[in-house]
A and B are shown apart, each in its own frame.
Chain A
Amino acid sequence: GAGVSQSPRYKVTKRGQDVALRCDPISGHVSLYWYRQALGQGPEFLTYFNYEAQQDKSGLPNDRFSAERPEGSISTLTIQRTEQRDSAMYRCASSSSSGANVLTFGAGSRLTVL
């Protein structure tokens, strides 16, 4: 596609429910990143894929968070047993190669946990 597409754009869920956030990167982009952005803050790194391989998951806050990119294209970030502190904007970005300078970010998925 022309840009990085994320869905859903908005998700409201109750505490304890599982949520899945989807990212469709720019066609042909090798690298895919997940970030989380709180209001008034800069993006915070969560995890990174090169093709289908998860290269770095050091930013995932705990084991309730997981991500996959099984075919090296679309990625899903899953949060299990959501908590109110998980409420944030979740942003996906992609780049044409590993170590590329330019990350193209999507519009994000805003998660609200009640």
Chain B
Amino acid sequence: EDQVTQSPEALRLQEGESSSLNCSYTVSGLRGLFWYRQDPGKGPEFLFTLYSAGEEKEKERLKATLTKKESFLHITAPKPEDSATYLCAVRTNFGNEKLTFGTGTRLTIIP
């Protein structure tokens, strides 16, 4: 069974303090790893897709990387508006089009 584990569950950072969120996965045949951002009371919002080990994607203060066992979401010099829950999800060869999500990391940036 596909498993996605995110850590830490919650992270509090001072504004400007860089850090990384982790997503480890155990799947049969990865067909894509996805990062979404979710603000309170809203649906998840797409950030990145990664397909193969070594791939990296960047958007503003966020950079996502992928290895064969895990993905990292690096946040550089975060601002309070980066506060949200960050969700990782996988799509596999045998799961059709469904995404299997982790439980998320709740990120709080303190001004």
Which residues of A line the B interface, CB within 8 A?
4, 31, 33, 40-45, 48, 50, 55-56, 58-59, 91, 93, 98-99, 101-108
B24 at the A interface (CB under 8 A): no
- Given known contacts A42-B102, A42-B103, is B43 in contact with A98 (CB within 8 Å)? no
Q: How many A-B residue pairs have CB under 8 A?
A: 59
- Interface contact A55-B97, CB-CB below 8 Å: yes
- What 1/0 mask marks residues of chain B from 9 to 24 whose CB sits below 8 Å from any chain A CB? 0000000000000000
B100 at the A interface (CB under 8 A): yes
Q: Which parts of B38-79 form the interface with A (CB within 8 Å)? A: 41-46, 49
Per CB-CB distance, the 8 closest pairs between chain A and chain B, nearest first, are A105-B43, A42-B101, A45-B98, A101-B49, A56-B96, A102-B46, A43-B101, A105-B44
**Residues of chain B within 8 A of A42, CB atoms compared:** 4, 87, 89, 101-104
Which single member of A40, A41, A106 contacts B43 (CB below 8 Å)?
A: A106
Smallest CB gap from B46: residue in A? A102
- Given known contacts A101-B34, A101-B49, is B44 in contact with A43 (CB within 8 Å)? yes
